């Protein structure tokens, strides 16, 4: 008897699902989009390609009036140039639309269990919910709208949004109280206050942004567009003037040849790919599970010069663990361990559990304790201590200053070496916790937060790009200084408060720098709003997500470094393709100008360095290459130029060498090969 087979798990595809450039669905959408974009109202948005569009119409009319194989071939390839440009943009948009469709499938027409004022429930369609209303969600329920948990704690499946199958914990009263409509509750019961009505939810905004409906051109993109328009405007009168000049030289230049020359001289390559580069940049952010609220934020990420990074969870693992017990004033280390363990038995924090574990591992302290004889004192931000009261006395552990004050209140004396030993531990990047029993300080517990492996190398790469890193921490300056030195950051802000973070950002911006930071709490909202690139954790509060211009769906503090790299890659890609586009006009010049005037001025034949077969094949070869190079560069525009951390000067030098010199050489080779093919067909003998 064979065992029943388990059904295979269906992979979860969230917003960040990456799609291949050869995805058939996207290709079909892009092919259809390349035709629908032929609408003049769409074409006019891209002035460079609109000139090509008008030129195609002019050559088509000329081909009808004076039909010839050459004029029709030029017309067809000019039409392909426009279609290929449309295809590039449609490909970029198609990837976003495919992801938007996946998000739409996560939306279900669900009923909400809305709470009335008297505490009873009523079932209503989720579309009727408005901000401020309370809804109840239990295990198995789909959360009907965006909101904040006001009561309870639950495990929530957010795979429809993030693509991550592991559930997350959401609870009331903290920085992890925010929930998203369309996610599913897996356990327990929560009460959620709705923060967004129908059509205004986080999921709706994600769909609009991923789909590109809200994409606006960035300032750099606008500036580059103005440059491209200016170059086009310069070449139009130059080409127009050639007609009377040719008439004076007793040379007739057909209108088809003039249009071909104009199209080959204006920056059609970057004009065709510019929009696709911008859309693809947003898409690459989404593939990293980052939702950018605007293209301006993505572009700013590439120009960032200062990064503000939280120490906990970004530079270090975040869980401080007990590493050793240190006795003071003749107290044995084991006695400190015994007292620290007793004070930590009810402490469920990672630090508290690590103290109990270290006491057991290092000193074998595992004797059972009668809970009835203990009265545990929880930690509070006011006292900065926790501990236990027994029939024999009281034990406290906590911040050194807080424990010192408590001992003084008990009438005790503070050992002289306490401050010196505490400072020594802090200088090493660890955190000292004092332990006291009654009126006597017993010793210290050393807690260490381990710096993540490889983080120092990442900071060195950022430094090579001219980016300054600043560590933000609530630790005291001594501890912060030690961790900053170990991690390799350029500067740090210790004992950070919301006001101090905001002040630091404004100081950096006053010096002309762009600043990026991450945050997840309500107290981070002012700084996130002030930063040029503010990245909020998806697990954070609604206030933080509203203030930020990017949201990290994975809630990973280290994602900020990846965001900067994607932003840099977008700028590098745009610059590289612009350099290539302008450089390859040189080869087209050597192909077309001799072809137009060689009859009147035979001396121009020396410019025919490619030895092209005939004037007609020279012009047509340049037009065909001009169209095909757009297709060849679409993958590069969508995937981006490979990013390598280095200084701006090195990046410019590499781009000029690869895409500048390459932009001159490649067209010579390409045009010559096309000319050989045309010559072999004997179409223009």
Which residue is catalytic, options 157, 310, 554, 562? Answer: 310
User: Bridge-partner residues for 111, per DSSP?
Assistant: 125
- Please tell me the distance from the alpha carbon of residue 379 to that of residue 146, in angstroms, as a whole number: 32
> Cα-flanking dihedrals φ and ψ of residue 326, to 5°?
-130, 115
Task: Judge contact between 600 and 562, C-beta under 8 A.
Answer: no
Task: Judge contact between 26 and 94, C-beta under 8 A.
Answer: yes
Assigned token pair, 263:
């199209």
Q: Who contacts 446 (Cβ-Cβ below 8 Å, separation ≥6)?
A: 322, 323, 324, 325, 326, 425, 430, 431, 432, 433
C-alpha distance from residue 135 to each of 101, 131, 200 (Å): 27, 11, 17
Residues placed in the known binding site for Mg(2+) = 520, 524
What percentage of the chain's residues is helix, strand, coil (to nearest 5)? 55, 15, 30
Q: How many residues does the chain have?
A: 685
Q: 310 an active-site residue?
A: yes
C-alpha distance from residue 3 to each of 6, 7, 199 (Å): 9, 12, 48
User: Bridge-partner residues for 122, per DSSP?
Assistant: 114
Nearest to 339 by CA among 368, 362, 359, 364: 359
Task: Please provide the DSSP assignment of 181-200 as one string.
Answer: TT-EE-SSEEEEEE-S-TT-
The owner of tokens 């696709």 is 276
Calculate the CA dihedral of residues 534, 539, 541, 542 and round it to 10 degrees: 80
Q: Helix crossing, 268-287 with 47-65: angle to 10°? A: 130
Nearest to 487 by CA among 315, 631, 348, 646: 315
Task: Judge contact between 273 and 221, C-beta under 8 A.
Answer: no
Assigned token pair, 318:
């975040």
Residues placed in the known binding site = 347, 351, 379-386, 397, 520, 524
How many Cβ atoms sit within 10 Å of the Cβ of residue 376? 15
Residues placed in the known binding site for ATP = 347, 351, 379-386, 397
Point out the residues that are catalytic.
310
């Amino acid at each position: 008897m064979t065992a029943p087979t388990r059904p295979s798990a269906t992979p979860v595809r969230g917003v960040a699902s990456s799609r291949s450039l050869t995805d058939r669905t996207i290709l079909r959408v892009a092919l259809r989009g390349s035709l629908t974009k032929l609408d003049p109202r769409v074409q006019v948005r891209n002035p460079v390609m609109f000139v090509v569009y008008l030129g195609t119409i002019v050559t088509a009319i000329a081909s009808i009036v004076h039909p010839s194989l050459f004029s029709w071939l030029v017309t067809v390839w000019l039409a392909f140039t426009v279609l290929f440009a449309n295809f590039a943009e449609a490909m970029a948009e198609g990837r976003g639309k495919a992801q938007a469709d996946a998000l739409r499938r996560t939306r279900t027409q669900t009923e909400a269990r809305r709470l009335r004022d008297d505490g009873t429930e009523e079932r209503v369609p989720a579309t009727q919910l408005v901000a401020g209303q309370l809804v109840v969600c239990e295990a198995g329920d789909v959360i009907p709208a965006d909101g904040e948990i006001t009561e309870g704690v639950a495990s929530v499946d957010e795979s429809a949004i993030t693509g991550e199958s592991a559930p997350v914990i959401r609870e009331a009263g903290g920085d992890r109280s925010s929930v998203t409509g369309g996610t599913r509750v897996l356990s327990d019961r929560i009460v959620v206050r709705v923060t967004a009505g129908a059509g205004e939810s986080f999921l709706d905004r994600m769909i609009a942004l991923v789909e590109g409906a809200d994409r606006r051109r960035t300032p750099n993109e606008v500036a580059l567009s103005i440059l491209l328009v200016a170059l086009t405007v310069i070449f139009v009168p130059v080409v127009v003037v050639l007609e009377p000049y040719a008439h004076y030289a007793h040379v007739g230049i057909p209108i088809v040849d003039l249009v071909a020359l104009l199209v080959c001289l204006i920056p059609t390559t970057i004009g065709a790919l510019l929009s696709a580069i911008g859309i693809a940049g947003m898409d690459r952010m989404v593939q990293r599970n980052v939702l950018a609220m605007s293209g301006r934020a993505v572009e700013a990420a590439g120009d960032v010069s200062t990064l503000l990074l939280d120490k906990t969870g970004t530079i270090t693992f975040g869980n401080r663990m007990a590493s050793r017990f240190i006795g003071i004033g003749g107290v044995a280390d084991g006695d400190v361990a015994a007292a620290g363990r007793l004070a930590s038995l009810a402490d469920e924090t990672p630090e508290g559990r690590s103290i109990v574990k270290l006491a057991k591992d290092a000193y074998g302290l595992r004797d059972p304790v009668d809970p009835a004889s203990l009265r545990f004192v929880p930690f509070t931000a006011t006292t900065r201590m926790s501990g236990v009261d027994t029939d024999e006395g009281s034990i406290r552990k906590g911040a050194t200053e807080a424990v010192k004050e408590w001992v003084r209140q008990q009438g005790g004396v503070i050992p002289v070496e306490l401050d010196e030993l505490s400072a020594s531990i802090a200088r090493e990047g660890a955190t000292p916790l004092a332990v006291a029993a009654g009126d006597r300080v017993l010793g210290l517990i050393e807690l260490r937060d381990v710096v993540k492996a490889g983080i120092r190398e990442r900071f060195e790469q950022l430094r090579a790009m001219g980016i300054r890193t600043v560590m933000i921490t609530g630790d005291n300056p001594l501890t912060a200084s030690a961790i900053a030195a170990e991690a390799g950051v350029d500067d740090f802000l210790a004992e950070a408060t919301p006001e101090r973070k905001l002040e630091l950002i404004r100081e950096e911006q006053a010096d002309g720098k762009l600043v990026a930071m991450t945050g997840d709490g309500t107290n981070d909202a002012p700084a996130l709003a002030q930063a040029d690139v503010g990245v909020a954790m998806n697990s954070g509060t609604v206030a933080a997500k509203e203030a930020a211009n990017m949201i990290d769906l994975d809630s990973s503090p280290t994602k900020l470094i990846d965001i900067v790299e994607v932003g840099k890659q977008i700028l590098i890609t745009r610059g590289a393709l612009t350099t290539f586009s302008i450089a390859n006009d040189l080869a087209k010049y050597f192909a077309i100008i001799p072809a137009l005037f060689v009859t009147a001025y035979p001396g121009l034949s020396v410019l025919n360095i490619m030895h092209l077969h005939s004037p007609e094949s020279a012009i047509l070869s340049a037009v065909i290459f001009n169209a095909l190079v757009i297709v060849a560069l679409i993958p590069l525009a969508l995937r981006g130029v490979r990013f390598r951390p280095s200084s701006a000067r090195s990046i410019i030098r590499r781009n000029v060498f690869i895409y500048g010199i390459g932009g001159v050489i490649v067209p010579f080779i390409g045009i010559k090969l096309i000319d050989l093919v045309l010559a072999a067909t004997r179409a223009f003998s």
